[in-house]
Each structure stands twice: as C-alpha cells, then as structure tokens.
C-alpha cells in the first residue's frame, strides 16, 4: 500500500469511529435494510455493450489530492443530468460519485443529488474499510459500492461483498496488478475494475489493463479506470476488447460533461 493510500485509510478508520458514535451500526443497518428498489448497475453496463456502445461509468468528482479542484462551479445534479443525456445518441451507463471529504472534497449529499436528478445507477466511490460504510452506502441511496483490493484483506472483501449483495447492491472490485486481480476473482462479483495508476510511481498507463485483460475470465466484466483521456485511448482499448470504462477527470473541466463524454466515445 502506498503512503498516500495508507494515510487515506488511516483517516477513514478515524472517520468511521466518529460516525459510529453518532449513528450506531444497528441503526445504520436498519436504515439500509429499509431501502428498496436499487437500480441495476451491472445490467446498465451490459445493456450498453449489447447495443455495441461503450459502457461508461461517468464520474462526478469535484477535486483530487494531486490536481486540486477540477470544477469550480460544481453542481452534481446538473453534471449527472448532462451525463445521462449525452448528445442524444451516446451517454453514460452509470454514475460514480466521490463521497470522500478530506482528500477529494466529496460529499454524501453529492451522491444523493446526482442520483435524484436522473435514472442512472450510482456507484459510491470512496475508501471502504468497515462494514458500517457498506450499510451507509445503501442508506444514502447507492446502487453499487467500490472495494479497493489494496486497502482490504480477503476476509474484509468477502464480508463487505456479502453485505452489499444482501442489500441488492452491485460490487466493483478495483485492482492494480496481477496479485490483486487473483484475489478479486475469488469473489462472486462479475465487476472487476483495473486501475491504470501505479501505486508506487503514480504514473498512469493503459498497459495495465491490456496486460491483465487476458486473466479476466469470460463472464466477468473488466472495467478500465484512470488514464482514458483521448479518442485514441478509447479506440486502442475497444480494439483490444475492453468495453467498459470509468472516466471522470477528462469530463470535469468541460462546460457540458455529457457532450464531452459523447465526443470521447463516439
């Protein structure tokens, strides 16, 4: 685990400890279990692919630790609507909303606002380190959660996945290398995200996805993350058989994120 990831995980444990004092596990679990009618996250991705289109999880992301604020006029509802509409022909399959406050200037409210403004399924993108957060994710309205293999051991991943499935949420497991992919494939979830960012050097290269792709079994859906910013990137990956993408920063500075998405994936 990189130094920055260790720092973020340590912060998350502190945040969860404080949150549990405000809202006990039994309470947040009851809230989560009372929620109904999740949106079909995996189904939305596969529906786009069935039409011959790229399945894009479009990110609603205000800032990053390395680049600071990405979009000054940040209105999650407007961004979500723009992604859902695209150019009328090409649009997002799902949303990913950053909820981490300290490092990404995210918010639970951003997820709620984005989801309420359109019909797209929504992934909560955060650093989940405790089962409390899995229940919290459903309580806030998330249709899917992200599990980062670099942050979790096998027992945690399996436990969090089981809770999510019981709550009818999809699970996207993020990996950075072959060892993490091997661990992810022990889970039941068909959604595997390959993060193209090297955790040691922080360099981004699409080769990570292309290298690991051969080890992803048929029936699993590989989603490439980070580093997709040009049509050439998209064409390279799609020609190799990659059909699902999680993209955010490439759209956040555009006046109309949905039109930028449509142009990239046309």
Rounded distance, CA 109 to CA 115, Å? 10
The mean pLDDT value of the chain amounts to 96
> Do 170 and 143 contact (CB within 8 A), yes or no?
yes
Mean pLDDT is lowest, of 20-24, 38-42, 114-118, 245-249, for 245-249
Q: Could you confirm whether 263 is annotated as catalytic?
A: no
pLDDT for the residue 198:
85
Of residues 130, 163, 181, the one with CA closest to residue 14: 130
pLDDT for the residue 108:
98
pLDDT band at 23 (very low <50, low <70, confident <90, very high): very high
48, 61, 62, 112: the active-site residue = 61
The tens digit of pLDDT for each residue in 122-139 reads 999 999 999 999 999 999
pLDDT for the residue 141:
98
Which uninterrupted H or E stretch holds 96? strand 94-98
15, 42, 59, 131: the active-site residue = 59
Rounded distance, CA 130 to CA 160, Å? 8
Q: Could you confirm whether 226 is annotated as catalytic?
A: yes
The tens digit of pLDDT for each residue in 202-212 reads 788 899 999 99
91, 96, 137, 195: the active-site residue = 195
Averaged pLDDT for residues 178-202? 93
pLDDT exceeds 90 at position 201: no
> Beta 244-247 vs 55-60: how paired, if at all?
parallel
42, 174, 180, 196: the active-site residue = 174
> Do 99 and 110 contact (CB within 8 A), yes or no?
yes
To 10 degrees, the CA torsion angle through 197, 201, 205, 207? -100
The tens digit of pLDDT for each residue in 224-258 reads 999 999 999 999 999 999 999 999 888 999 999 99
> Do 118 and 60 contact (CB within 8 A), yes or no?
no
CB atoms < 10 A from the CB of 196, how many? Answer: 20
pLDDT band at 66 (very low <50, low <70, confident <90, very high): confident
Residues 31-37: contacts with CB within 8 Å, 24+ apart?
Answer: 31/135, 31/139, 32/134, 32/135, 32/136, 32/137, 32/138, 32/139, 32/167, 33/138, 33/167, 35/138, 35/139, 35/141, 35/167
> Do 54 and 44 contact (CB within 8 A), yes or no?
no
Task: List, in order, residues 6 or more apart from 189 with CB less than 8 Å away.
Answer: 161, 170, 171, 172, 173
Q: Could you confirm whether 225 is annotated as catalytic?
A: yes
Give, in words, the CATH class of 3-265. alpha beta
Q: Could you confirm whether 112 is annotated as catalytic?
A: no
pLDDT for the residue 3:
82
Q: Could you confirm whether 51 is annotated as catalytic?
A: no
Averaged pLDDT for residues 50-69? 95
15, 42, 180, 225: the active-site residue = 225
CB atoms < 10 A from the CB of 115, how many? Answer: 24
pLDDT for the residue 161:
98
The token duo for 136 is 């919290």
Percent of residues, the chain, with pLDDT higher than 70: 100
What residue spans define the domains of the chain?
3-265
Q: Could you confirm whether 48 is annotated as catalytic?
A: no
List b or e across 227-260, with b for residues whose CB sees 16 or more CB atoms inside 10 angstroms: bbeeeebbeebeeeebbbbbbbbbbbebebbbbb
pLDDT for the residue 4:
85
Which uninterrupted H or E stretch holds 11? helix 3-22
Rounded distance, CA 232 to CA 230, Å? 5
The tens digit of pLDDT for each residue in 142-183 reads 999 999 999 999 999 999 999 999 999 999 999 999 999 999
Rounded distance, CA 218 to CA 192, Å? 12
pLDDT for the residue 171:
98
Averaged pLDDT for residues 98-118? 98
Classified as helix, coil or strand, 165 is: helix
Rounded distance, CA 246 to CA 231, Å? 14
125, 136, 137, 196: the active-site residue = 125
Q: Could you confirm whether 180 is annotated as catalytic?
A: no
């Amino acid at each position: 685990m990189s130094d920055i990831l260790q720092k973020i995980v340590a912060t998350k444990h502190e945040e969860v400890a404080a949150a549990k004092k405000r809202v006990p596990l039994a309470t947040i679990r009851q809230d989560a279990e009372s929620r109904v009618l999740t949106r079909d996250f995996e189904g939305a991705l596969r529906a786009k692919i069935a039409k011959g289109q790229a399945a894009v999880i479009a990110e609603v992301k205000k800032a990053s630790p390395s680049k600071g604020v990405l979009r000054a006029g940040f209105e999650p509802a407007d961004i979500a609507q723009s992604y859902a509409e695209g150019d009328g022909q090409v649009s997002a399959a799902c949303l990913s909303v950053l909820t981490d406050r300290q490092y990404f200037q995210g918010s639970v409210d951003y997820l709620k606002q984005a989801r309420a403004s359109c019909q797209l399924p929504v992934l909560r993108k955060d650093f989940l380190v405790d089962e409390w957060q899995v229940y919290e994710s459903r309580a806030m309205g998330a249709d899917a959660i992200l599990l980062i293999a670099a942050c979790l051991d096998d027992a945690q991943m399996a436990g969090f996945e089981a809770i999510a499935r019981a709550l009818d949420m999809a699970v996207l497991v993020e990996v950075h290398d072959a060892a993490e992919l091997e661990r992810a494939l022990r889970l039941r979830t068909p959604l595997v995200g390959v993060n193209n960012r090297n955790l040691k050097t922080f360099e981004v290269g699409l080769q990570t996805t292309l290298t690991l792709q051969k080890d992803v079994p048929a029936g699993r859906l590989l989603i490439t993350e980070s580093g997709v910013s040009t049509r050439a990137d998209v064409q390279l990956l799609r020609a190799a058989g990659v059909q699902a993408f999680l993209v955010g920063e490439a759209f956040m500075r555009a006046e109309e994120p949905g039109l930028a998405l449509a142009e990239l994936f046309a």
